[in-house]
Amino acid sequence: MSFPDGDDISSGALIYDPMDQEEAPAESEALLPVYLRPMPSASGHTYGTLSYNKRSRCWVVKGDPSVTEMCKRLFPGSKGSKRGEARFTDHRRMVADLQWLMLRFPLDIRMSDLTHWQEAIGKAREHAVREARAALLPPKMTPREGTFEGTLMPFQQEGLSHLMRHERTLLADEMGLGKTVQALACLASQGTFPVLIVPPPHLCRNWQEETLRFLRIEGKVPRVYQITGLKPYPLPEADVYIMHYLLLRGWKDILPGLGFKVVVFDEIQELRHAGTEKYSAASLLSSAADRVLGLSGTPIYNRGGEIWNVINILDFHFLGDWESFTREWCYGYGREIVAKPDLLGDYLRREGLMFRRTKAQVLSELPPKRRLVQELDFNDAVYTRLMAPVLQELGKWQEGGSLSIQEKRLLEESISLHARQATGIAKAPYVCAFVKALLDGGEKVLLFAHHHQVFDIYREELKAYHPSFVTGRESLDEKTKAVSNFMEERTALLCISLRAGSGLNLQKATCVIFGELDWSPAVHSQAEDRAHRIGQEDSLLCYYLVSPGGSDAFMQESLGLKVSQFVSLMGDTPKGQEEVMEEAGYARRHVEALAASLRTEKPGEGAEKRPAEANL
């Protein structure tokens, strides 16, 4: 582990990995709070008994009313249903509280439960030592050389330090601040594999690409495998496994035994509702792991009580059971509305269970405009069906003997246009899923595309967000109203044609999304500038959403794009004659590339091969 310049590392304790448990016993005991150090055997009066209830997974204190009343007064979550009884969840923090309580009120531990108590108090002590040693880590950290390909911004270095100090935590940075990168930096720093990453379906491919881009294991690219299907099967050996949330229920009984040391739940708000097989599988998986990271800029949507479900996945019963949580934190037993959400947030941050920064807080570290290329899945079957008529045109173009130059050029443009349209339609549902996450996070989004059929899908998939449209099909009054709705914040989503937004001033936007690509870099730059204008006070985030198949790969190459980065600056000057001539050749080269690919595979077939095998 290395540290940024300026951090004080004069104390040897700073370089320890908080997961390292091989320190000398004397050092460990010195780091323990007094109340967790070994106690002498009780030789005088005892106030009751301590036993373990396996069914409820809790410790039960029975004894004098004086001690059970004290339990309930000091620890409201310990209230039991019977007089003379108090219950403590079998959580390392609650076990530590029990140990502290017994310094004042010694209890007899039932012999049959003595071994379990020794294990429980041992885990509580180990946790306390790790927390004490982790507290000595510097406030900013960078991964050690050779484990991570990338540079963290200062606020991301702070995020890495937090993730390394806390084994189970929620990184709740706002969208666009690099939660994925910080999580990968943590994996690189901690160096314990195998790891399981659980994202929503539309982000699986992005996690593959980002893992391969940033992470290194002994100087080499990691082995990445995406788990597919609901039916379990033997997994090949890999360093990083990826499985989306919808598959968890099928693998529920298998995952806890597969030995994943670290689990990352991306967009963990997917688990904000308990009572499902998905939630149960995630809970079992989390309990079997040493380190669990949750990532989400919007961990709850409607009710503050949803945070209990999220935190319960990260650290089981950290907030007590549901009944005690709602009784103490919410407006009454079983209610989901948190009475003092600011107080609960402060508690979670203070205890290391949550870490959050907003763009406003780190704006000085962000460039005015950030461009990110994000790879999404697309529907191979839909692409293949839409490309079937194009094959006939392509055959006609390949024969080409009787075609004039003008006819051949028109045919090239038609083939290229239909291939781009097929690509846009095939990935449109995944684009919508990505946009929904941004909107749910409070972003104001400009969504650019090209084809009317693609906009029709956006209209249907995103109708719950009441989007406005400027696509070239609207009248002047309708266009004016759409812009007004967005600028006056009656809607947070404006869908615009790539070549229909000229002259519009849309600086209310915080994110620009390209659901489809144009041949011209200048078109994209001018589209970005609809939002990035005088009056724009935020750091503008521009996402280029690309698919692994179809025409996007060729267009990326033409635009100078590579996944997750820009290879060259994008143009923002008016097109000259040379650029116009260059664009005229894009369609021809696109058709040539299509013809070359179709000699060896059917449309969509190559993309089907990529998710599991090609990235190993």
Q: What is the pLDDT of residue 230?
A: 95
Phi, psi of 457 (to 5 degrees): -70, -45
State which H helix or E strand residue 493 sits in. Answer: strand 493-497
Q: What is the CA radius of gyration of the chain?
A: 28
At 339, the pLDDT band (50, 70, 90 cuts) reads confident
Question: pLDDT for 489-516, tens place per residue?
Answer: 999 999 999 877 666 778 888 899 999 9
Rounded-to-integer distance, Cα 82 and Cα 74, Å: 17
Strand ranges for 131-268 from DSSP E:
168-171, 195-198, 224-226, 240-242, 262-266
Q: Which two tokens stand for residue 308?
A: 């209990």
Query: How far is residue 207's CA from residue 231's CA, in Å, rounded to a whole number?
Result: 22
358-398, pLDDT tens digit by residue? 888 888 888 777 888 888 888 889 988 998 887 777 777 77
Render pLDDT for 48-66 as a digit per residue (tens, 0 to 9): 999 999 888 889 999 888 8
pLDDT band at 162 (very low <50, low <70, confident <90, very high): very high
pLDDT of residue 468: 94
* 485 — pLDDT class (breaks 50, 70, 90): very high
User: What pLDDT is attached to residue 80?
Assistant: 63
Q: Rounded mean pLDDT of 588-594?
A: 62
Q: Are strands 291-295 and 262-266 parallel, antiparallel or unpaired?
A: parallel
One-letter amino acid at 547 equals S
Is pLDDT at 109 greater than 80 in this prediction? yes
Cα 445–chain centre separation: 19
In the predicted model, is pLDDT for residue 300 greater than 90?
A: no
In terms of pLDDT, which residue wins out, 399 or 533? 399
The pairing of strands 168-171 and 108-109 is: unpaired
Q: SS3 of 566, please?
A: strand
Residue whose entry in the numeric block shows the structure tokens 């443009």 = 413
State the burial class of residue 402 (Cβ atoms within 10 Å of its Cβ: 0-12, 13-18, 19+).
Answer: exposed
Residue whose tokens read 């260059």? 582
C-alpha span between 281 and 307 (Å, rounded): 18
With cut-offs at 50, 70 and 90, classify the pLDDT of residue 156: very high
Provide the terminal-to-terminal Cα distance of the chain, rounded to the nearest Å: 27
Give the pLDDT confidence of 540-579 residue by residue, as tens digits: 888 999 887 788 877 776 666 544 333 333 333 334 444 4
Residue showing tokens 């739940």: 265
The tokens 């659980």 sit on which residue? Answer: 198
Query: In this predicted structure, what is the pLDDT of residue 262?
Result: 96
pLDDT at 596: 65
Residue located via tokens 């600086």: 507
Work out the pLDDT band at 16, boundaries 50, 70, 90.
very low
Is residue 252 helix, strand or coil? coil
Looking at 291-300, 331-340, 488-497, which range is the least confident one?
A: 331-340
Instruction: Give the pLDDT score at 409.
Output: 78
Query: In the prediction, which pLDDT does 40 show?
Result: 67
The answer to whether the pTM exceeds 0.75 is no
pLDDT at 455: 95
Element of type H or E holding 423:
helix 405-440
pLDDT confidence band for 247 (50 / 70 / 90):
very high
Q: Which amino acid is at 76?
A: P
